Amino acid sequence: MTVLFLVVLVDMLGFTIVIPFLTYFVQDLASGQGINDVGSRDFWVGVVIAVYSLAQFLFTPILGSISDRIGRRPVIMFGLISNSIFFIVFGLSNSLEMAIFARFLAGAGNGNIAVARAYIGDISTHDLIPRRMGMLGAAFGLGFMIGPFIGGLLSDPATSIGGFFDSSFWRANEYLLPCIFSSLLSLVSLALAYFWLEESLGPDSRADGVSDGGLGKFRETFSNIIGVLGIPIISTLVIINFLFLMAFSMMHGTFILFTAMSIDNGGLGWSEMENGWIFAFIGLLGVIIQGGLIGPLTDRFGMANLMMIGTILCGAGIASLPYVPPEASWLILGSSAGLAIGNGLFSPTHSSLLTLEANRGGHELGLVMGAQEGYGALARIIGPLLAAYLWSMTVEGTGIWTFHTCFRVAGVIFVIAALLQLTLKLESRYEDEELNVRN
């Protein structure tokens, strides 16, 4: 478990490094191609964010199903190799087309998280699953705490660092250095997985049968994924996760679009470094919640209750973001705390409940987790695109149709996810089963 934690941590460090500068990078590429209208330019930020998730939607469920057949370890390593290559390609992008190409291929190979969750399900007993999912979440939190700070620090090294980097090459490639650093981190994670990560799925536990390659395998895999939505309880949990992630991902691009917008236009006028600091704060809270508090909180309140609380807190945090006044920008810490704590409570408890339901029903865990990640990726496609569309239509609007709109819509989606959770009675379900086992 320690090795898996380190593998995911190093991988997440590499992934989150791009957060502070991606918005600025895409804006520069769009402007360089003559797209100067604010709404049209900013829309491309959502496209570049969404294309990564589009690739995950298409390929992560397949990788999850493959891991049921050949094991978790090789699939995790494949994703790390993909990251190492395509982070550098992204950093060298000189057009929107090249940036989209690099992000798509990076997303296509990165099935690590779904397989890592299935890995935990393979090696964990009933009572250990919430805590170990929390450890995985802590790796996310540490990644969000350290990665964005490094990304902000290494952006535009010709200006921020100088010396060796004060050259025409680095001035022309302002965001290449953090991408190189991210690629190196993925190689470190690959070495950890290669030398110390043991396979969790023995030959006797692997799924039987290998489908034909090509289109036949694609159809078979997606048929299984669609079938997951027909499984009681699991289907509801998948839909809840879909709604949560769609609303949460609406702020991935618009968060920095808001903070980077000039004060005269209602934003905060922040730079890459300032955005790096706020994401470091979000990551720190994620570490505290998922790394230390999730176990005791689960024992006291139950997984289903924490999932509900997390949904409400996250929705309130995101919906309140655009109301932070520039003269008191420190108030963004309150909104950020809500979304960080909410996500920290929701993610491990939801994953734990889904794992328990899959094991209880005798379903293939890799397939279920892969399906969840696939639909989660679909949510991360729709969320940024919906937010980008709403932003582009309202960023220069007046009255009730302003850039606040996309954050308000996200809040409404969180409310729907919370209402859907009221239809589940998961805690009593597991408590009754434990009593039967004792008796």
Q: What is the pLDDT of residues 107-152, one digit of tens each?
A: 887 766 777 777 877 777 766 776 777 777 677 767 777 888 888 8
Least confident of 216-225, 272-281, 285-294: 216-225
Q: How far are the Cα atoms of 198, 308, 343, 369, 416 from residue 350, in angstroms, in the given order?
A: 26, 10, 10, 11, 16
pTM: 0.78
Chain segment 186-213, per-residue pLDDT in tens: 888 888 888 888 887 766 666 665 444 4
CATH of the domain at 418: 1.20.1250.20
**pLDDT at residue 29 is higher than 90:** yes
- The 10s digit of each residue's pLDDT in 46-79 is 999 889 888 877 777 677 778 878 888 888 888 8
Domains: count for the chain: 1
Cα separation of 83 and 104, whole Å? 11
Instruction: Note whether residue 236 is domain-resident.
Output: yes
Residue 420 lies in a domain: yes
Domain range enclosing 381: 2-198+224-434
Contacts 24+ apart (CB under 8 A), 67-71: 67/111, 67/115, 67/118, 67/201, 67/366, 67/370, 68/118, 68/201, 68/206, 68/207, 68/364, 68/365, 68/366, 68/367, 69/206, 69/207, 69/209, 69/210, 70/206, 71/199, 71/200, 71/201, 71/206
User: Residue 243 — very low, low, confident or very high, per pLDDT cuts 50/70/90?
Assistant: very high
Residue 217 counted as domain residue? no
pLDDT of 432 > 50? The answer is: no
Domain assignment of residue 192, yes or no: yes
In a domain, 218, yes or no: no
Please, are residues 229 and 235 in contact by the beta-carbon 8 Å criterion?
yes
Q: Which amino acid type is present at position 139?
A: A
Confidence of residue 421 (pLDDT cuts 50, 70, 90): very high
